[in-house]
Structure 1
Amino acid sequence: MNVTPSLSDGKNKRRSQLTHFLRSRRAALSPEDVGLATAGGRRKAGLRREEVAVLAGVSASWYAWLEQGRPIRVSDGILDAISGALRLTELERVHLYRLADANPPLPVQCAVRPDREVFQRIVDTQLLGPACVIDRYWDVLAANRQAAEVLHLGRDGNENFLTSLFAGSHGQKYLNWPQVARQMTARFRLQASYLADDPRYEEMADRLAESNDEFARMWARHEVEEFVPTTVELDHADEGGLPFVLFTMDLDEAACTRLLVYLPPGVTGPETVWQ
């Protein structure tokens, strides 16, 4: 029997994530980073709650309630003050707003069944390098020949990009795997925050963390990152390491389908670059 997640379940999950996010960002800073003087040693690294409260101009008890995920009202001005105190990036500030329910996540939409045939035609005409289409859960909906042969993606029609990156042969093709794995984890974390009421993201993260220590370590860092062009180095049997720029394009906003293309730097023509 399918059970639709309640609104309260979604809020509880966001509060739990808010607690984890604030603690992780507080632990990443030292008093010296924010211009605070300290006397003597500390048993724990990072800022104390009281120090964040002072920097943000709020009471220590109020900040403690926020970090504990209590249902309190939070204004935009206070969230900006906390963002400044914790030296958050603009993307992290937006992430904080969503977790604090000041800017609610996008609702989970019942997307139309994806047209895999259309996606397959899209990637088959992309001959510059490996290309694939992933859905909101990063399941591979289509992959061209290069992606199947080079990255081992989409060969069995039931592949997940993230799972294969950490637990399959896909991840072994990146010579700069630590960088790629960290970036993909942060991007998956950001997407999960947009759809916090969807339980599958948490289930996927829990399952991967249980089976893969590297993913568990990266997931615990609670980093968020947008999909931006990224340089990756792929292992070629004859040529060794070849650099590619991995860029993405949204295909269907409601279905959260995304085209991933591995483009060789400097290539402008339609010639095939990976045979």
Structure 2
Amino acid sequence: MARTELGAYLTARRALVTPAEANLTVTGYRRVSGLRREEVAILAGVSADYYVRLEQGRERAPSGQVLDALATALRLDEDGRLHLFRLAGIGPRVRAAAVADRVEPSLLSLMDAWPHNPAVVYNRAYDVLASNTIADALFHGWAHSRNLMHVVFTDPAARAFYRDWHGVARNSVAGFRLGHGAAPDDPRVRQVLGELLEQSPEFAELWDRHDARGKALERKDFEHRDVGPLTLTMQTFDVRAAPGQELVVYHAEAGSPSSEALALLGSLAATARRES
């Protein structure tokens, strides 16, 4: 029987938990750095045979109690736990038809009222549905693509633009995986996934890790061709009126060189907009 997404996720997660992290005593030679199947079974309080069937796809309907135990054994955070439940068919999944790509006019007006704060709205496929003027300037007018996953993995300039490209790449794939788990039948999500698997070996390698993690408060370092280095704090908000959409807002620390660079970028963007 073919391996399921649930089985692949369990396999990938146990490979990332060391025996020391699980408070297990290690004796003798080990062929794997992570946990063995029987060790996960012991930690979760299930039989080794049952756990093997889960990984191999021969068991597809674990209970919520078993999933809770597995989440604890595999040291999953809240996003990882949510993803586990979704893969098992217990967490809510969204039909593709329910995913909205229209951005509310009131949200667009709010974004336009932030001349010094780059702001974008994107969907589960990471298509940018809306952006304000300074965000357009930050991302160079979206010359390569209006899909953030394509920007990270297929734009040759991305490695210079994102000063911590590897960190951005890992977080982007983890966020994309979480969205994919919520709406695996969304045709646009599936399209972007197929394109990236074909075009980017680095995306494919990160995808195989099965990291699933939503965006949180974080700092990003950019190298902008017009204003130089920028360190911006990024905050992400779910758009309640349109499930599947997220609003991302960037800001710089007051009085910092990044704040001055961002102000200059806003001035350049406003000038370009008046002249266009």
Range class of TM-score, shorter chain: 0.7 to 0.9
| Structure 1 residue 166: Cα displacement | 1.5
Would the alpha carbon gap of residues 103 and 262 (structure 1) be closer, same or farther in structure 2, given more than 3 Å must change? same
Identify the residue that residue 166 of structure 1 maps to in structure 2: 153
Rounded to whole Å, the distance in 2 between the matches of 1:251 and 1:85 is: 33
For 1:248, the aligned partner's letter is T
For 2:62, the aligned partner's letter is V
Does structure 2 retain, via aligned residues, the 8 Å contact 1:119–1:133?
Answer: no
What's the TM-score once normalised by structure 2's chain length?
A: 0.81
Rounded to whole Å, the distance in 2 between the matches of 1:113 and 1:149 is: 22
Does structure 2 retain, via aligned residues, the 8 Å contact 1:176–1:233?
Answer: yes
Rounded to whole Å, the distance in 2 between the matches of 1:239 and 1:112 is: 35
Would the alpha carbon gap of residues 241 and 212 (structure 1) be closer, same or farther in structure 2, given more than 3 Å must change? same
Identify the residue that residue 141 of structure 1 maps to in structure 2: 129
1:258 corresponds, among 246, 262, 267, to 246
| 2:52 aligned with 1:64 | yes
Identify the residue that residue 100 of structure 1 maps to in structure 2: 88
Unaligned runs of 5+ in 2: 268-276
Identify the residue that residue 21 of structure 1 maps to in structure 2: 9
Rounded to whole Å, the distance in 2 between the matches of 1:117 and 1:102 is: 34
| Structure 1 residue 210: Cα displacement | 2.1
Identify the residue that residue 140 of structure 2 maps to in structure 1: 152
Q: Percent identity?
A: 36
Is the partner of 1:147 in helix, strand or coil? Answer: helix
Question: What does 1:47-86 align with in structure 2 at a 5 Å threshold?
Answer: 47-86=35-74
For 1:165, the aligned partner's letter is V
Would the alpha carbon gap of residues 106 and 253 (structure 1) be closer, same or farther in structure 2, given more than 3 Å must change? farther
Residues 30-85 of structure 1 deviation map (CA, whole Å, 9 limit, x = unaligned): 32332323332123332111111112111111111111223443222211111222
Is the partner of 1:32 in helix, strand or coil? Answer: coil
| 2:211 aligned with 1:228 | no
Moved more, 250-259 or 56-65: 250-259
Moved more, 97-106 or 195-204: 195-204
Would the alpha carbon gap of residues 232 and 115 (structure 1) be closer, same or farther in structure 2, given more than 3 Å must change? closer
| 2:20 aligned with 1:32 | yes
Rounded to whole Å, the distance in 2 between the matches of 1:254 and 1:70 is: 36
For 2:147, the aligned partner's letter is N
Does structure 2 retain, via aligned residues, the 8 Å contact 1:140–1:154?
Answer: no
Does structure 2 retain, via aligned residues, the 8 Å contact 1:132–1:140?
Answer: yes
| Structure 1 residue 193: Cα displacement | 0.9
Identify the residue that residue 7 of structure 1 maps to in structure 2: none
Unaligned runs of 5+ in 1: 1-11
Does structure 1 retain, via aligned residues, the 8 Å contact 2:219–2:231?
Answer: yes
Identify the residue that residue 118 of structure 2 maps to in structure 1: 130
Rounded to whole Å, the distance in 2 between the matches of 1:113 and 1:105 is: 17
Does structure 2 retain, via aligned residues, the 8 Å contact 1:130–1:144?
Answer: yes
What's the TM-score once normalised by structure 1's chain length?
A: 0.81
Does structure 2 retain, via aligned residues, the 8 Å contact 1:114–1:255?
Answer: no
Does structure 2 retain, via aligned residues, the 8 Å contact 1:152–1:170?
Answer: no
Is the partner of 1:23 in helix, strand or coil? Answer: helix
Length, aligned pairs only: 260
Rounded to whole Å, the distance in 1 between the matches of 2:36 and 2:241 is: 40
Rounded to whole Å, the distance in 2 between the matches of 1:113 and 1:223 is: 25
Is the partner of 2:93 in helix, strand or coil? Answer: coil
For 2:63, the aligned partner's letter is S
Rounded to whole Å, the distance in 1 between the matches of 2:103 and 2:214 is: 26
For 1:247, the aligned partner's letter is Q
Rounded to whole Å, the distance in 1 between the matches of 2:14 and 2:103 is: 44
Is the partner of 2:212 in helix, strand or coil? Answer: coil
Would the alpha carbon gap of residues 99 and 42 (structure 1) be closer, same or farther in structure 2, given more than 3 Å must change? same
Does structure 2 retain, via aligned residues, the 8 Å contact 1:109–1:255?
Answer: no
